[in-house]
Amino acid sequence: MATKWGICSAGKISHDFTVALKTLPPGDHQVVAVAARNLERAQEFAKKHNISKAYGNYEELANDPEIDVVYVGTIHPCHLPVCTLYMNAGKNVLCEKPFAMNSGEVRKLIASARENKVFLMEAVWTRFFPASREISRVLSQGEVGEVKVARAEIGVPLLHVPRAVEKELGGGALLDIGVYCLQFALMVFNGERPESIQASGFCLDTGVDEAMVVTLTFPQNRIAVCVCSIAVQLPNEAVIIGTKGSIRIPANMWNPTSLVVNGKKTEYPLPQPSLPLNFVNSTGMRYEAEEVRQCLLKGLKESSRMSLSDSALLMEIMDEARRQVGVLYSQDIQ
Protein backbone atom coordinates (compact mmCIF):
# COMPACT_ATOMS: atom_id res chain seq x y z
CA MET A 1 0.00 0.00 0.00
CA ALA A 2 1.28 3.44 -0.93
CA THR A 3 2.33 6.03 1.62
CA LYS A 4 -0.05 8.93 1.08
CA TRP A 5 1.51 12.36 1.33
CA GLY A 6 0.08 15.77 2.04
CA ILE A 7 2.18 18.76 0.98
CA CYS A 8 2.07 21.81 3.24
CA SER A 9 3.04 25.01 1.41
CA ALA A 10 3.10 25.52 -2.34
CA GLY A 11 6.55 27.11 -2.54
CA LYS A 12 9.71 26.21 -4.42
CA ILE A 13 10.99 23.52 -2.06
CA SER A 14 7.58 21.83 -1.95
CA HIS A 15 7.56 21.79 -5.75
CA ASP A 16 10.94 20.06 -5.83
CA PHE A 17 9.97 17.57 -3.14
CA THR A 18 6.84 16.63 -5.07
CA VAL A 19 8.87 16.18 -8.25
CA ALA A 20 11.28 13.97 -6.28
CA LEU A 21 8.41 11.79 -5.07
CA LYS A 22 7.48 11.14 -8.70
CA THR A 23 10.82 9.39 -9.23
CA LEU A 24 9.70 6.69 -6.77
CA PRO A 25 7.21 3.90 -7.58
CA PRO A 26 3.62 5.21 -7.52
CA GLY A 27 2.65 2.09 -5.65
CA ASP A 28 4.89 3.25 -2.80
CA HIS A 29 4.35 7.02 -2.71
CA GLN A 30 1.33 9.10 -3.66
CA VAL A 31 0.67 12.81 -3.15
CA VAL A 32 -3.04 13.15 -2.47
CA ALA A 33 -3.39 16.75 -1.25
CA VAL A 34 -1.64 20.11 -1.07
CA ALA A 35 -2.37 23.04 1.23
CA ALA A 36 -1.36 26.69 0.99
CA ARG A 37 -2.49 29.87 2.74
CA ASN A 38 -4.09 30.88 -0.54
CA LEU A 39 -6.51 28.53 -2.30
CA GLU A 40 -5.57 29.79 -5.75
CA ARG A 41 -1.90 28.96 -5.14
CA ALA A 42 -2.84 25.51 -3.86
CA GLN A 43 -5.01 24.86 -6.90
CA GLU A 44 -2.25 25.99 -9.25
CA PHE A 45 0.22 23.67 -7.50
CA ALA A 46 -2.27 20.77 -7.61
CA LYS A 47 -2.86 21.26 -11.32
CA LYS A 48 0.85 21.33 -12.08
CA HIS A 49 1.49 18.13 -10.13
CA ASN A 50 -1.78 16.32 -10.87
CA ILE A 51 -2.85 16.28 -7.20
CA SER A 52 -6.52 15.57 -6.58
CA LYS A 53 -7.14 17.85 -3.59
CA ALA A 54 -6.13 21.47 -2.93
CA TYR A 55 -6.78 23.30 0.34
CA GLY A 56 -6.67 27.03 0.99
CA ASN A 57 -5.55 26.62 4.59
CA TYR A 58 -3.41 24.24 6.61
CA GLU A 59 -6.22 23.13 8.92
CA GLU A 60 -8.13 21.40 6.12
CA LEU A 61 -5.08 19.30 5.31
CA ALA A 62 -4.75 18.39 8.98
CA ASN A 63 -8.35 17.15 8.95
CA ASP A 64 -7.95 15.03 5.81
CA PRO A 65 -8.25 11.38 6.95
CA GLU A 66 -6.51 10.08 3.83
CA ILE A 67 -3.11 11.58 4.69
CA ASP A 68 -0.41 9.33 6.19
CA VAL A 69 2.35 11.92 6.45
CA VAL A 70 2.70 15.65 5.84
CA TYR A 71 5.74 17.27 4.26
CA VAL A 72 6.16 20.75 5.77
CA GLY A 73 7.95 23.16 3.43
CA THR A 74 7.02 26.47 5.04
CA ILE A 75 9.47 29.21 6.03
CA HIS A 76 11.49 28.55 9.17
CA PRO A 77 9.44 30.50 11.77
CA CYS A 78 6.33 28.53 10.80
CA HIS A 79 7.81 25.10 11.45
CA LEU A 80 6.83 24.86 15.12
CA PRO A 81 3.18 25.96 14.83
CA VAL A 82 2.53 24.14 11.56
CA CYS A 83 4.15 20.85 12.60
CA THR A 84 2.33 21.03 15.93
CA LEU A 85 -0.97 21.50 14.09
CA TYR A 86 -0.41 18.31 12.10
CA MET A 87 0.92 16.23 14.96
CA ASN A 88 -2.02 17.24 17.16
CA ALA A 89 -4.23 15.95 14.34
CA GLY A 90 -2.42 12.61 14.49
CA LYS A 91 -0.39 13.13 11.33
CA ASN A 92 3.17 11.95 10.83
CA VAL A 93 5.48 14.79 9.80
CA LEU A 94 8.58 15.34 7.70
CA CYS A 95 9.68 18.92 8.38
CA GLU A 96 12.17 20.88 6.31
CA LYS A 97 15.41 21.96 7.95
CA PRO A 98 16.07 23.76 10.18
CA PHE A 99 13.67 21.88 12.44
CA ALA A 100 12.73 25.10 14.22
CA MET A 101 14.18 28.47 15.22
CA ASN A 102 15.96 27.37 18.40
CA SER A 103 16.40 24.53 20.88
CA GLY A 104 13.33 25.46 22.89
CA GLU A 105 11.17 25.06 19.82
CA VAL A 106 12.83 21.76 18.92
CA ARG A 107 12.07 20.42 22.39
CA LYS A 108 8.41 21.40 21.91
CA LEU A 109 8.30 19.58 18.56
CA ILE A 110 9.77 16.42 20.05
CA ALA A 111 7.42 16.57 23.04
CA SER A 112 4.43 16.96 20.72
CA ALA A 113 5.51 14.00 18.59
CA ARG A 114 5.84 11.79 21.64
CA GLU A 115 2.60 12.97 23.17
CA ASN A 116 0.70 12.31 19.96
CA LYS A 117 2.64 9.10 19.22
CA VAL A 118 3.44 10.12 15.65
CA PHE A 119 6.53 9.89 13.46
CA LEU A 120 8.62 13.05 13.19
CA MET A 121 11.81 13.72 11.25
CA GLU A 122 13.83 16.75 10.22
CA ALA A 123 14.30 16.74 6.45
CA VAL A 124 18.09 16.85 6.42
CA TRP A 125 18.13 15.16 3.02
CA THR A 126 21.94 14.93 2.95
CA ARG A 127 21.86 12.08 5.47
CA PHE A 128 19.97 9.76 3.12
CA PHE A 129 21.89 10.06 -0.14
CA PRO A 130 23.66 6.85 -1.17
CA ALA A 131 26.98 8.73 -0.96
CA SER A 132 26.28 9.66 2.67
CA ARG A 133 25.39 6.09 3.54
CA GLU A 134 28.65 5.00 1.94
CA ILE A 135 30.54 7.50 4.09
CA SER A 136 29.00 5.94 7.19
CA ARG A 137 29.95 2.46 5.99
CA VAL A 138 33.54 3.47 5.24
CA LEU A 139 33.91 5.12 8.64
CA SER A 140 32.36 2.22 10.53
CA GLN A 141 34.72 -0.24 8.88
CA GLY A 142 37.77 1.88 9.62
CA GLU A 143 38.87 2.25 6.00
CA VAL A 144 40.37 5.70 6.66
CA GLY A 145 41.57 4.90 10.15
CA GLU A 146 40.76 7.17 13.08
CA VAL A 147 39.10 10.37 11.89
CA LYS A 148 41.00 13.42 13.10
CA VAL A 149 39.60 16.28 10.98
CA ALA A 150 36.32 16.98 9.22
CA ARG A 151 35.78 20.12 7.18
CA ALA A 152 32.72 21.30 5.29
CA GLU A 153 31.87 24.52 3.50
CA ILE A 154 28.81 25.87 1.80
CA GLY A 155 28.44 29.26 0.17
CA VAL A 156 25.64 30.40 -2.11
CA PRO A 157 24.89 34.03 -3.13
CA LEU A 158 21.49 34.62 -1.53
CA LEU A 159 21.60 38.28 -0.48
CA HIS A 160 18.89 39.05 -3.05
CA VAL A 161 16.49 36.49 -1.49
CA PRO A 162 14.27 37.99 1.27
CA ARG A 163 13.82 34.60 2.97
CA ALA A 164 17.59 34.37 3.42
CA VAL A 165 18.25 37.86 4.78
CA GLU A 166 15.16 38.98 6.72
CA LYS A 167 15.16 38.19 10.42
CA GLU A 168 11.36 37.87 10.60
CA LEU A 169 11.55 35.16 7.90
CA GLY A 170 14.18 33.17 9.79
CA GLY A 171 17.04 34.28 7.56
CA GLY A 172 20.76 33.91 8.09
CA ALA A 173 23.56 31.76 6.70
CA LEU A 174 23.72 29.32 9.59
CA LEU A 175 20.05 28.34 9.80
CA ASP A 176 19.53 28.28 6.06
CA ILE A 177 22.64 26.52 4.75
CA GLY A 178 25.23 26.22 7.53
CA VAL A 179 23.04 23.55 9.08
CA TYR A 180 24.28 21.21 6.35
CA CYS A 181 27.91 21.62 7.40
CA LEU A 182 27.15 21.07 11.08
CA GLN A 183 25.01 18.00 10.46
CA PHE A 184 27.85 16.63 8.33
CA ALA A 185 30.29 17.04 11.22
CA LEU A 186 27.90 15.32 13.60
CA MET A 187 27.35 12.50 11.12
CA VAL A 188 31.12 11.99 10.81
CA PHE A 189 31.54 11.91 14.59
CA ASN A 190 28.51 9.69 15.07
CA GLY A 191 26.30 12.18 16.91
CA GLU A 192 28.87 12.83 19.60
CA ARG A 193 28.50 16.02 21.62
CA PRO A 194 31.46 18.36 21.02
CA GLU A 195 33.64 19.44 23.93
CA SER A 196 33.76 23.01 22.67
CA ILE A 197 32.02 25.26 20.16
CA GLN A 198 33.75 28.35 18.80
CA ALA A 199 32.04 30.61 16.28
CA SER A 200 32.98 33.80 14.50
CA GLY A 201 31.31 35.76 11.74
CA PHE A 202 29.50 38.93 10.91
CA CYS A 203 25.95 40.12 10.43
CA LEU A 204 24.00 42.03 7.83
CA ASP A 205 22.14 45.22 8.68
CA THR A 206 19.03 43.06 9.05
CA GLY A 207 20.62 41.37 12.08
CA VAL A 208 21.17 37.93 10.57
CA ASP A 209 24.52 36.34 9.84
CA GLU A 210 26.01 36.76 6.38
CA ALA A 211 28.87 34.37 7.03
CA MET A 212 30.07 32.20 9.88
CA VAL A 213 32.85 29.80 10.80
CA VAL A 214 32.08 27.23 13.49
CA THR A 215 34.81 25.06 14.97
CA LEU A 216 33.87 21.99 17.00
CA THR A 217 36.39 20.07 19.09
CA PHE A 218 35.86 16.49 20.22
CA PRO A 219 37.73 14.18 22.63
CA GLN A 220 40.92 12.44 21.42
CA ASN A 221 42.12 15.54 19.53
CA ARG A 222 39.46 15.54 16.84
CA ILE A 223 38.14 18.67 15.18
CA ALA A 224 35.48 19.83 12.70
CA VAL A 225 35.51 23.16 10.86
CA CYS A 226 32.32 24.41 9.23
CA VAL A 227 32.10 27.47 6.97
CA CYS A 228 28.94 29.04 5.54
CA SER A 229 28.14 32.21 3.59
CA ILE A 230 25.10 33.63 1.83
CA ALA A 231 27.20 36.33 0.12
CA VAL A 232 29.49 34.33 -2.17
CA GLN A 233 29.75 31.06 -4.04
CA LEU A 234 32.14 28.63 -2.35
CA PRO A 235 33.44 25.31 -3.76
CA ASN A 236 30.93 23.57 -1.45
CA GLU A 237 33.26 20.68 -0.70
CA ALA A 238 33.66 18.49 2.35
CA VAL A 239 36.57 16.36 3.47
CA ILE A 240 37.22 13.77 6.17
CA ILE A 241 40.83 13.08 7.09
CA GLY A 242 41.76 9.94 8.99
CA THR A 243 45.02 8.36 10.10
CA LYS A 244 44.93 5.94 7.15
CA GLY A 245 43.17 7.88 4.40
CA SER A 246 40.52 10.37 3.42
CA ILE A 247 37.01 10.85 2.09
CA ARG A 248 36.11 13.83 -0.07
CA ILE A 249 32.85 15.17 -1.40
CA PRO A 250 34.13 17.23 -4.36
CA ALA A 251 31.01 19.35 -4.90
CA ASN A 252 27.53 20.04 -3.54
CA MET A 253 28.32 18.57 -0.13
CA TRP A 254 24.70 19.01 0.98
CA ASN A 255 23.40 16.76 -1.84
CA PRO A 256 26.36 14.57 -2.80
CA THR A 257 26.33 12.64 -6.05
CA SER A 258 30.02 11.70 -6.08
CA LEU A 259 32.54 10.56 -3.49
CA VAL A 260 36.30 10.12 -3.45
CA VAL A 261 37.45 7.50 -0.94
CA ASN A 262 41.22 7.07 -0.61
CA GLY A 263 41.66 8.50 -4.10
CA LYS A 264 38.99 6.39 -5.81
CA LYS A 265 35.99 8.31 -7.16
CA THR A 266 32.48 6.85 -7.34
CA GLU A 267 29.46 8.50 -8.95
CA TYR A 268 25.90 8.23 -7.61
CA PRO A 269 23.69 9.65 -10.39
CA LEU A 270 20.19 10.89 -9.67
CA PRO A 271 17.06 10.21 -11.71
CA GLN A 272 15.97 12.94 -14.08
CA PRO A 273 13.09 15.18 -12.94
CA SER A 274 9.77 15.22 -14.75
CA LEU A 275 9.51 19.00 -14.27
CA PRO A 276 12.14 21.77 -13.97
CA LEU A 277 13.62 22.08 -10.47
CA ASN A 278 14.34 25.15 -8.36
CA PHE A 279 17.39 23.74 -6.57
CA VAL A 280 20.38 21.58 -7.51
CA ASN A 281 19.90 17.79 -7.35
CA SER A 282 16.44 18.08 -5.79
CA THR A 283 15.36 14.65 -7.00
CA GLY A 284 17.68 13.46 -4.21
CA MET A 285 14.87 14.25 -1.78
CA ARG A 286 13.48 10.89 -2.88
CA TYR A 287 15.85 9.24 -0.39
CA GLU A 288 14.50 11.00 2.68
CA ALA A 289 10.95 10.28 1.50
CA GLU A 290 11.75 6.58 1.20
CA GLU A 291 13.32 6.66 4.67
CA VAL A 292 10.02 7.99 6.03
CA ARG A 293 8.10 5.21 4.29
CA GLN A 294 10.38 2.50 5.62
CA CYS A 295 10.13 3.87 9.16
CA LEU A 296 6.34 3.98 8.96
CA LEU A 297 6.19 0.43 7.63
CA LYS A 298 8.25 -0.68 10.63
CA GLY A 299 6.10 1.26 13.08
CA LEU A 300 8.97 3.55 14.07
CA LYS A 301 8.40 7.05 15.45
CA GLU A 302 11.78 8.41 14.38
CA SER A 303 14.65 7.56 12.05
CA SER A 304 17.93 6.20 13.36
CA ARG A 305 19.63 7.91 10.42
CA MET A 306 18.40 11.38 11.49
CA SER A 307 17.09 10.88 14.99
CA LEU A 308 15.28 13.43 17.13
CA SER A 309 18.30 13.55 19.43
CA ASP A 310 20.45 14.34 16.37
CA SER A 311 18.17 17.26 15.55
CA ALA A 312 18.19 18.46 19.16
CA LEU A 313 22.00 18.47 19.35
CA LEU A 314 22.28 20.14 15.96
CA MET A 315 20.06 22.99 17.09
CA GLU A 316 21.89 23.34 20.43
CA ILE A 317 25.13 23.88 18.52
CA MET A 318 23.49 26.43 16.23
CA ASP A 319 22.05 28.28 19.22
CA GLU A 320 25.50 28.59 20.78
CA ALA A 321 27.11 29.65 17.49
CA ARG A 322 24.45 32.32 16.97
CA ARG A 323 24.93 33.54 20.54
CA GLN A 324 28.64 34.01 19.98
CA VAL A 325 28.13 35.91 16.73
CA GLY A 326 25.22 37.95 18.06
CA VAL A 327 22.25 36.71 16.03
CA LEU A 328 19.04 36.95 18.04
CA TYR A 329 15.57 36.06 16.76
CA SER A 330 12.29 37.10 18.38
CA GLN A 331 11.72 33.42 19.20
CA ASP A 332 14.82 33.51 21.42
CA ILE A 333 13.28 36.04 23.81
CA GLN A 334 9.74 34.71 24.06
Would residue 217 be called left, alpha or beta, if left means φ above 0 and alpha means ψ between -120 and 50 degrees?
beta
Query: Which residue from 323, 317, 325, 333 is spatially nearest to 99, judged by alpha carbons?
Result: 317
Q: pLDDT, tens digit, for every residue of 224-239? A: 999 999 999 999 999 9
Q: Is 194 exposed, middle or buried (0-12, 13-18, 19+ CB in 10 A)?
A: buried
For the chain, what percent of residues have pLDDT higher than 90? 100
* DSSP assignments along 61-80, one per residue: HHT-TT-SEEEE-S-GGGHH
Residue 334 has pLDDT above 80, yes or no: no
Q: Using alpha carbons only, give the angle 182, 241, 132 rounded to the nearest 5 degrees.
A: 55
CA–CA separation, 93 and 120 (whole Å): 5
pTM: 0.98
Residue 211 has pLDDT above 90, yes or no: yes
CA–CA separation, 267 and 134 (whole Å): 11
CA–CA separation, 94 and 123 (whole Å): 6
Residues 6+ apart with CB under 8 A from 304: none
Residues 6+ apart with CB under 8 A from 295: 119, 121, 301, 302, 303
For 169-191, what is the mean pLDDT? Answer: 98
Mean pLDDT over each residue of the chain, to the nearest integer: 98
For the chain, what percent of residues have pLDDT higher than 70? 100
Give pLDDT, residue 55. Answer: 98
For 252-258, what is the mean pLDDT? Answer: 98
Q: pLDDT, tens digit, for every residue of 44-92? A: 999 999 999 999 999 999 999 999 999 999 999 999 999 999 999 999 9
Residue 185 has pLDDT above 90, yes or no: yes
